[in-house]
């Protein structure tokens, strides 16, 4: 837990955010400012700053996150497709410095997003 990290607070349950998925290692919850009909964030409970800070030992955790994303996409009815985004660092537009994956879907998504 990193003291002033909003996603650490969410993951610890102290902000009473509704979880769509919770396991020992991860939680998934809806983004506060959705950019599409489905916009879910999947995060590790453990504080990892970004994708630029993962290590080889995080492989199982990252695999669990990807499987959770796949299951969530199925549950949300995103059979036509979806996008997974991990904004990383200043040039990547990362605003919350706790690793998170955006699961975005429910409408046709243009690429590049701009």
Q: Which residues are catalytic?
A: 100
- Residue 96 binds Zn ion (CB under 5 A): no
User: CA-to-CA distance for 69 and 84, rounded, in angstroms?
Assistant: 8
- Least separation in angstroms between residue 33's CB and ligand 5GP is 4
21 binds, among ligand 5GP, Zn ion, none (CB under 5 to 8 A by kind): none
Q: What's the Cα-to-Cα distance from 86 to each of 36, 48, 63, 71, 95, rounded to whole Å?
A: 16, 13, 15, 18, 11
Residues in the chain: 114
Applying CB under 6 A, the residues found at the interface with ligand 5GP are 6, 29-33, 41, 87, 93-96
Interacting residues toward Zn ion by CB under 5 A: 2, 5, 7-8, 47, 98
């Amino acid at each position: 837990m990193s003291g002033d990290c909003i996603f650490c607070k969410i993951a610890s349950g102290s902000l009473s955010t509704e979880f769509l998925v919770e396991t020992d290692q991860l939680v998934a919850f809806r983004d506060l400012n959705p950019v599409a009909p489905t916009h879910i964030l999947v995060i590790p409970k453990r504080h990892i700053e970004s994708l630029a800070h993962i290590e080889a030992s995080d492989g199982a955790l990252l695999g669990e996150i990807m499987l959770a994303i796949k299951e969530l996409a199925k549950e949300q009815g995103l059979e036509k497709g979806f996008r997974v985004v991990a904004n990383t660092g200043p040039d990547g537009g990362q605003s919350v410095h706790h690793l998170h994956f955006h699961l975005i879907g429910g409408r046709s998504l243009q690429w590049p997003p701009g």
